[in-house]
Amino acid sequence: MIDISAIRLDFPILSEKISGKPLIYLDNAATSQKPLPVIAAIDRYLRTQNSNIHRAAHHLANISTELYETSRSKIAKHLGVKTHEINFTRGTTESINLLKEAYGMKMLEKGDAVLISEMEHHANIVPWLDLKEKIGIELRYIPMNLDCTLDLSQIDTLLDQKVKLVSIQMISNAIGTIHPVEFIIQKAKSLGARVHLDIAQVVSHQAIDLSEMNIDFASFSGHKVFAPFGIGVFWGREDLLNQMKPYHFGGEMIKEVYMDKATYNDLPYKFEAGTPNVMGGIALAEAFDYIDKIGMSAIEAYESSLYEFAYEELSKIEALQFHSPKGKSIASLSFSIGDIHPFDIGQILDAQGIAIRTGHHCAQPIMRKLGIEGTCRASICFYNTEEEILALVRGLKQGIKMLS
């Protein structure tokens, strides 16, 4: 059972006022707010622990190194994987680019196929388009149904021996659709294809054990899971990471450097060139500690109930059309309201202190498929309440009256 009042006290930004109105933050799919333990960890690090890590002989460097590497171990334990399989990046986008460069450029050949879906974030489309241009891979798409689910009717045609990599979101960032990844993974593995999952919209909402999923790679951003911007994780199976070559070069990722050659460091450091985001890594581990203390099962139960409540209440607005499939989506409610532009709705809600996201959500192919420019997206977290959902409904009704 979640003590929502106590939890809300952990997030000081929720006490802010926007245009004189209490902040109602429903833009969690874009980024989550930060709890006091994470803020305290950042403050403590900058005040008393700040130093570059590894190699130095002084006290602060030793403390920073221990904190950073302990954080890597905590994150690995939370995800059910080996510590040295956790590679820190700036976020999901950089993680997928790491996969594209270190795996795709080095281990795929002209004529090989990569399978994604029409419902991907641009970060899981554009890198593969670049790979198609550079080495001549074939890029295939699992189509999208108009009910905002994946059309798997042609999966046996799309997934054949030419497909060497499947890269897909577990949950759509734009509309919250939960994809049937277990089925897709099973199909891909039966043909020997590697599988990468974008879990950016999963880690703050559901328990996940990567070791039990029969996949090869996964990516997520820390700022989606109560940590600051600029930190993320690329996870890969140890045997595959050992086969892959770095794509960023410089300090830390080397073992030895000569004038005519260089050798690379061991995992995970060979993929972490340059000075790392030490503070971000520490804060990310603190964020996972925070949600572990609440309990992911309690979080899932509360958010599921709140999502159902939101869906039911928003359904009462006659002009509102959902683009999040009921019963097959989580946390995000994406919708449009007649011919009213989503941005106009967002502006009216903002004047009432209600924060949602409007636009194409870095998923233009979805919007083209639906024949719309964009949607309004209200995305929830365990610090949101039924009272906030009711305020959203009132705000939307007011906006419709003003704009109709």
CA–CA separation, 213 and 65 (whole Å): 31
Q: Which distant-in-sequence residues (6+ apart) come within 8 Å of 47 by Cβ? A: none
With the C-alpha atoms ordered 304, 309, 315, 320, is the resulting torsion angle positive or negative?
negative
> Do the Cβ atoms of 294 and 282 come closer than 8 Å?
no
CA–CA separation, 253 and 270 (whole Å): 4
Q: Where are the alpha helices (DSSP H) in 3-58?
A: 4-9, 36-44
The DSSP call for residue 324 is S
In the residue annotation, 381 being an active-site residue is answered as: no
Give the H/E segment covering residue 132.
helix 126-135
The amino acid occupying position 292 is D
Say whether the peptide bond before residue 325 is cis (omega within 30 degrees of 0): no
148, 362, 376, 381: the catalytic one is 362
Q: Which distant-in-sequence residues (6+ apart) come within 8 Å of 256 by Cβ? A: 262, 263
At 256, give phi and psi (nearest 5°).
Answer: -140, 145
Q: ∠ CA 19-20-26 to the nearest 5 degrees?
A: 65
CA–CA separation, 397 and 404 (whole Å): 10
The amino acid occupying position 341 is H
Catalytic residues: 362
